[in-house]
Structure 1
Amino acid sequence: MAMKRLCFTCDLKNNPELIEKYKEYHHRSNTWPEITKSIREAGVLQMEIFLAGNRLFMIMDTKDDFSLERKELMDAENSIVQRWESLMGKYQQTPEFTRNGEKWVLMEKIYDLEELGVLK
């Protein structure tokens, strides 16, 4: 199956108590099943989120035909996803380098070891 990888960054409010609460919401026993379902239905095959300080880094492996625009439309029509996004917005902040006020920012890939062919 063909797939593509997308990476995003987002900042949390720099408050240790809020960061811990955000982490709790993302523990597998606390994540709303409707959120997981909506992610899968949009074509996301695998998702991981990492934390350093108050900066988040998300890796998404998606079906090759995955579309961010289609995912955003699906999310806009899903009241449970909207409730989740509103709740998570209490912990997130817009990174200072964004222009559009977005919280999760698509990152530009600038290096790929495999593309160098060094290990082949």
Structure 2
Amino acid sequence: NSRINARLPYIFLLSRIAHYLKIIQRENIGSTKDRRLLELELNTWVRSLVTEMTDPGDELQASHPLRDAKVVVEDIEDNPGFFRVKLYAIPHFQVEGMDVSLSLVSRMPKAKA
């Protein structure tokens, strides 16, 4: 039980970021954005949560909870009409005394031609 509780901050952080990425993706459904433009938009947003300072203060860490983050948007070859969206994130905070790298994969419909 304590091991699960120790991982909750990571789960909450990734869930919150995933929720916002899904909202941005939903706003783009039906648009004519290609993979590169969507990837640029998602990366611009997720980079707003990143500070590369090695030891940020509590206030900065609260507004920029990630040490690094990247979004990759790929075409799904066996499922035309959808993109695969991958999120890679490294949070500032440590639990259990180890560095953690988080990732998440989702699918998004492409615009209809």
Q: Tell me if TM exceeds 0.5.
A: no
| Bigger share in helix | 2
Of structures 1 and 2, the one with the larger relative CO (CA 8 A, separation 6+) is: 1
